[in-house]
Structure formats: C-alpha cells, structure tokens
Amino acid sequence: MPATLRTAAFGAAVAAFAFAPASALAQKKYDTGATDTEIRVGHIVPYSGPASAYGVIGKTEEAYFRMVNDNGGINGRKVKFVSYDDAYSPPKAVEQVRKLVESDEVLVVFNPLGTPSNSAIQKYLNAKKVPQLFVATGATKWNDPKHFPWTIGWQPSYQSEALIYAKYLMKEKPDAKVVVLYQNDDFGKDYVKGLKDGFGAKASMIVAEESYEISEPTIDSHIVKLKATGADVFISITTPKFAAQAIKKLAEIDWKPMHILSNVSISVGSVIKPAGFENAQGILSAAYAKDAADPQWQDDPGMKKFLALLDKYYPEADRLNTSVVYGYGAAQTLTKVLEMCGDNLTRENIMKQAANLKDFTPDTLLPGVKINTSTTDFAPIEQLQMMRFKGEKWDLFGDIISGEAGH
C-alpha cells in the first residue's frame, strides 16, 4: 500500500475510533468464574441433615437460572449454578466452599444457608475477596461492610424481626410472662438479643429461656419445662424440624400460650402441615414475602410469574413452602445485580453493584417492602408485617413495620 494511502487509512481509523460510542470502547473485565459466555455461581445448602427442609431453596434457584438461561442468559451469558450439600455442618460448609472457589472456580458464592455455616466460611471468602452474596440467614453480623466488605445479607435481620415482636408484645400484652425456646448458636442468640433490646427496661418480661442443640432428636422436654413456668407467651426461635415439634408438643400437653414463631419456620408446607393445621391456629409471626397459599395474591403479577416458573421448571415444588418463594426472590436479586454489572464482571464490581440497589422489588416481596443497599448498609430488607395463622394460611395484619432500632 502506498504511503499516502496508508496514512489516509490510519487517519480514518483514528477518526472512527474517536467518534465510536463509549460503550463500544469499554473493555470487558472478568475475574475467575466469568467469560464472554458464562457466569459461574457457587452455592451451598443443607440438602441433608437436620435442616434439610431448606434444600428446596437450592432447587428453586437452580430452576430460576435455567429459566434465565433459556431466555438468553444475563447480558448474553449463561449462568452455571453449582450447588453442594453442606448438611448444615460448618466443617462441611468450609470443605464445599473451598471446592467451589478453588476447583470449580466460581465468580461468587451466592445465598449460602445457615448462620453456623456462613460464620465458618466468612473469613475465608473475605480473605480470598470472593463475594459471599445475599447470605440465607438473618444474623445481624452480615451487615458489617467495614470489617467484612465481601459479605452481604438479604433477608431481614433476626434482631430486626425480634424487635418487632417485642414492640408488639409491649403494646398488646404489656404484663406478659414470656418464655423463649432458641437454637443454641448464633442464629438463636441473635434473636434473643433482639428481644431483650426490644423490651429494653422491660426485659424482665422474659421469665425463662431454654436452648436446644441442633443434634437433639426432640425438644419435647424443653417444652414441658417451659410450661411449668406458668408463662402466657411462648416464643419459638427454631428451624423447621423443631418448630413443627414444638407446635405438636404444645397441643399434646394442652398448653395454650400466645405462640410467636420465627420467620424462618413459617412454611405451611414443611412446618405447619406436618404439625397439624388444628394445632397451629392463632400462631403469630412476621413476613416480608408473599405466601402462595394466600388467595389475595392469585391475580398478583409477581406471583403469576413465580407460579409460571414452577409450572415449567420445578413442577414438583410445594407451592405452600415459603422456602420456595424465598429462593425465587434471592435468585431474582442476584440476577438484577449481575445485569447491573454489564460487561464488568469483576468481583469488586459485583460487590459495588450489590451495595447500590435502590427500591428494588422482587416479584415475591410484600407490597411496600423494598430492597435498598449502600456502601454503609449491607442489610437489603429491613421491613416486615405481622401475621396470624388461621385456617390453612397466614393472615397479614397491621402496617409494614421497620425492624430497625428506633423506628
């Protein structure tokens, strides 16, 4: 090519470059686990063991990402969802998460379930600078961006929820004698702290506390012991297996206190139904997500999408199981964050976008409950609404309440 033509061609190329849209010049940025065609997402959940009722969360999320992939993926990339069983065992959780990061080379560890398991993997993931994204536990400590910048929560904190119960009791039953049954780990202790903070100067309303170990086959003896106190309010801070046992035992021994049940065990399918609908009448709890068993949502556009997903991708799912609703909402939130990342799929940018959610409303959250995050607030959902079990479903009542202290 003659020199003059070469110069002209070079000049034209420079001009084209100068006037190209900024987006065309933006470099694609990837960390381990992301390519032009794939995003690898790691996950752990107890498919076996004492908390195996939560295994449906992983199955729902897997179904959600299959739907995403069938619809073209996220910004053209398919999600490879790698989910392992940790049996609700912290040592097993560490083993499986190391496998996800070091062998499967996932981009993020998403929605790992359980306070004990997440406590065991938090330091490792933060040291490796791998996002521990939207953890499936309400422990308050996940909202600590200063010390653990790679860990972020999703659901309302247990302390926030407990504060709401304390507020409710002080208003509705100020002379209550309260007893608390709680799981002897960070999950249970977080709720107890929230209750005591909520009661404040009236913490003496709690007349007895009983803890149980996850390894115990039954909690019947604890229930009998708590009945003997003469309390008229029973607060059950339990995972599904033990929540169902408590409901049954209260009926067996004909003890009828006001019964408040932690949100993690409100599933009609895996808790209430096995315990017996007749035994669950009047139980109180709080919710932030819609309940597929509630007819008020039958024409709700978000719940229609949820049910359509189950029809096509997870037909064997129990629609009455709140853990299925949970898995959908969490997966939709991750999808939103990955969409916000565009072509910058670095772990640092994922955390930046996860901390920049503004009034995001997954299809399954109650009207008025919105996801908001910032660089100083890693607690996405902070609102709940009280509800009472009646017939074969939960009935919501009252206003949406913020569980933040001072609100």
| Domains of the chain, each with CATH number or no CATH | 30-156+296-376 (3.40.50.2300), 158-287+387-402 (3.40.50.2300)
Q: At what angle do helices 322-341 and 347-354 cross, to 10 degrees?
A: 120
Segment 384-394 shows an average pLDDT of: 96
CA distance 304 to 29: 36
Q: How much is the pLDDT for 174?
A: 96
pLDDT digits (tens, 9 = 90+) for 153-171: 999 999 999 999 999 999 9
Overall average pLDDT of the 92-116 stretch: 97
Write down the pLDDT at residue 26: 65
Q: Do the beta carbons of residue 343 and residue 28 sit within 8 Å?
A: yes
> Which among 393, 385, 181 has a CA at the least distance from the CA of 280?
393
One-letter identity of residue 101: V
Higher-scoring residue by pLDDT: 364, 320: 364
What is the distance between the alpha carbons of residues 61 and 49, in angstroms, rounded to a whole number? Answer: 20
How confident is residue 347, by pLDDT bands cut at 50, 70 and 90?
very high
pLDDT surpasses 50 at 20: no
Residue 40 has pLDDT above 60, yes or no: yes
Q: What is the largest CA-CA distance in the chain?
A: 101
**Could you tell me the two tokens for 396?**
């919501």
Q: Could you give the residue ranges of the DSSP H alpha helices within 233-355? A: 240-252, 273-275, 301-313, 322-341, 347-354
Cα distance between residue 44 and residue 33, in whole Å: 17
Q: What is the pLDDT of residue 7?
A: 47
Contact 81, 41 (CB under 8 A): yes
Helix or strand holding residue 118 (H, E): helix 115-128
Q: 240-252 and 220-227 are packed helices; what angle lies between their axes, rounded to 10 degrees?
A: 50
Q: What is the pTM of this model?
A: 0.87
The residue among 17, 90, 280 whose CA lies nearest residue 9 is 17
Are 153 and 355 a contacting pair, CB within 8 Å? Answer: no
Over the stretch 301-322, which tens digit does the pLDDT of each residue have?
Answer: 999 999 999 999 999 999 889 9
The whole-number pLDDT of residue 402 equals 82
